[in-house]
A and B are shown apart, each in its own frame.
Chain A
Amino acid sequence: MASTFHGLEIGKRSLYAQQAALSTTGHNVANANTTGYTRQRAEMQATNPMPQPGMQNSTSPAQLGTGVEVTKIVRLREDYLDVQLRGENKNLGYWEAKSDTLSKVEELLNEPTDNGLANVMDEFWKGWQELAKDPDSAAARSVLRQRGIAVTETFQHLSNSLTQIQNDLKHVIETKRNEVNSLATQISGLNDQIGRLVPNNYEPNDLYDQRDVLIDKLSKIVPVNVVSGKNGTVDVFVGNEAIVAGNQAKTLEIGIDSTTGLVDPTKIQIAGNTVMLESGELLGRIESYGVVGGGSKSTIPNVKSKLDELARVFVESVNDAHQKGMNLDNINGTSSERLDFFIGDSAQNLGVNPKIMQSLNLIAAAMEEAPGQSSSGNGKNAQAIADLKFEGLPFTGSTTTADDFYRNIIGQLGIDTQESRRMQDNSEVIVQQVENRRLSVSGVSLDEEMTNMIRFQQAYNAAARYVTVMDQCLDKVINGMGRAGL
Chain B
Amino acid sequence: MTTRVTQGMLNQNMLFNLHRNYGEMEKTQEQASSGKKISKASDDPVTAVRGMFYRSSLNEIEQYKRNTSDGISWMTATDEALDEVTSVLHRAKELTVQGLNGTNGESDRQAIVAEIKQLKEHLGEISNTQMSGRYLFAGTDTKNPPYRADSQVAGSPMEFRNQNQGALELQVGQTNNVQINVLGVNVFNNDGAGGLFKVFDDLVADLQNPNGGSSEHLSKLEGQLDNLLKERSELGARMNRMELSMSRVDGLELSTIKMLSNEEDVDISRVIINLKTQENIQRAALSVGASIIQPSLVDFLR
Residues of chain A touching chain B, judged by Cβ–Cβ distance below 8 Å, are: 32-33, 102-103, 106-107, 109, 111-112, 114, 118-119, 122-123, 126, 129-130, 132-134, 136-137, 366, 369, 374-380, 383, 386-387, 389-390, 403, 407-408, 410-418, 421, 432, 435-436, 439-441, 443-447, 450-451, 454
Q: Give 30 A-B contacts (CB < 8 Å), ordered by A residue.
A: A111-B41, A112-B51, A112-B55, A112-B264, A118-B52, A122-B60, A126-B62, A126-B63, A136-B142, A375-B140, A377-B142, A378-B140, A383-B169, A386-B171, A403-B53, A407-B49, A411-B46, A411-B49, A412-B45, A414-B44, A415-B42, A417-B40, A417-B42, A421-B42, A439-B12, A440-B5, A443-B9, A444-B6, A447-B296, A450-B301
Of residues 38 through 86 on chain B, the ones whose CB sits less than 8 Å from some CB of chain A are 38, 40-46, 48-49, 51-53, 55-56, 59-60, 62-63, 66-67, 70
B148-185 interface bits toward A, Cβ cutoff 8 Å, 1 = contact, 0 = none: 00000000000000001010111100100100000000
Q: Which residue from chain A places its CB closest to the CB of B7 in the assembled complex?
A: A446
For A412, list chain B residues within 8 Å (CB): 45
Bound CA–CA A403/B49 (angstroms): 10
Q: A112-B51, A440-B5, A445-B5 are in contact. List 5 more A-B contacts (CB 8 A).
A: A133-B70, A137-B133, A366-B140, A377-B142, A445-B7
For B56, list chain A residues within 8 Å (CB): 118, 122, 403
Contact with B48, one of A32, A410, A444 (Cβ below 8 angstroms): A410
Contact with B168, one of A32, A377, A421 (Cβ below 8 angstroms): A377
For B46, list chain A residues within 8 Å (CB): 411
Asked whether, in the complex, the Cβ of A432 is within 8 Å of the Cβ of B16, the reply is yes
Asked whether, in the complex, the Cβ of B42 is within 8 Å of the Cβ of A440, the reply is no
For A441, list chain B residues within 8 Å (CB): 4
Majority SS at the chain A contact face: helix
For B52, list chain A residues within 8 Å (CB): 111-112, 118, 403, 407, 410
Bound CA–CA A129/B264 (angstroms): 28
For A390, list chain B residues within 8 Å (CB): 174
List 4 A-B pairs, minimum CB-CB distance, nearest first.
Answer: A377-B142, A414-B41, A414-B45, A417-B42
Given contacts A129-B171, A418-B45, contact A32 B141 (CB under 8 A): no
B117-158 interface bits toward A, Cβ cutoff 8 Å, 1 = contact, 0 = none: 000000000000000111000111111000000000000000
Asked whether, in the complex, the Cβ of B143 is within 8 Å of the Cβ of A376, the reply is yes
Given contacts A107-B40, A118-B56, A440-B4, contact A410 B49 (CB under 8 A): yes
Asked whether, in the complex, the Cβ of A436 is within 8 Å of the Cβ of B63, the reply is no
Given contacts A443-B9, A444-B6, contact A377 B141 (CB under 8 A): yes
Given contacts A111-B48, A376-B143, contact A129 B9 (CB under 8 A): no
Asked whether, in the complex, the Cβ of B59 is within 8 Å of the Cβ of A435, the reply is no
Bound CA–CA A439/B62 (angstroms): 63
Contact with A447, one of B13, B62, B177, B297 (Cβ below 8 angstroms): B297
